[in-house]
Amino acid sequence: MPDESKVELMFKDFDIDFSASLHVNEVGNLKPTFYTLHIKFGDSYFTHDNWFFAMMMHQFIEFSMIIIENTAFFCGELMFS
């Protein structure tokens, strides 16, 4: 990504909802255990000076957010616990 280009990534209506419990381990650190986890990124905006790069990166970011949302719904406990 060129250094002189302006790049912005904005999220609108980002929402995360989870239920978890906190446990203290032997060292005294908190260890969360997640039971449910739902992530909704809402609308995303990716701007770049190069229109082709902006289009390709926006599609890549949209696809990545869908993967994260679906993975968090089915495997949130494994991902974050």
Q: Examine residue 3 and state whether it is found in any structural domain, yes or no.
A: no
Q: Is residue 72 scored above 80 in pLDDT? A: no
Q: Examine residue 68 and state whether it is found in any structural domain, yes or no.
A: yes
Q: Examine residue 80 and state whether it is found in any structural domain, yes or no.
A: yes
Secondary structure, 3-state, the chain: CCCCCCCEEEEECCEEEEEEEEEECCCCCEEEEEEEEEEECCEEEEECCCHHHHHHHHHHHHHHHHHHHHHHHHHHHHHHC
Q: What does the pLDDT read at residue 67?
A: 84
Q: Examine residue 76 and state whether it is found in any structural domain, yes or no.
A: yes
Q: Examine residue 42 and state whether it is found in any structural domain, yes or no.
A: no
Q: Examine residue 14 and state whether it is found in any structural domain, yes or no.
A: no
Q: Is residue 2 scored above 70 in pLDDT? A: no
When the pLDDT of each residue in the chain is averaged and rounded to a whole number, the result is 79
Q: What does the pLDDT read at residue 16?
A: 83
pTM as predicted: 0.54
Share of residues in the chain with pLDDT > 70 (%): 89
Q: Examine residue 7 and state whether it is found in any structural domain, yes or no.
A: no
Q: Examine residue 37 and state whether it is found in any structural domain, yes or no.
A: no
Domain that holds residue 80: 49-81
pLDDT tens, residue by residue, 6-41: 777 788 888 888 888 888 988 888 888 888 888 887
Number of domains within the chain: 1
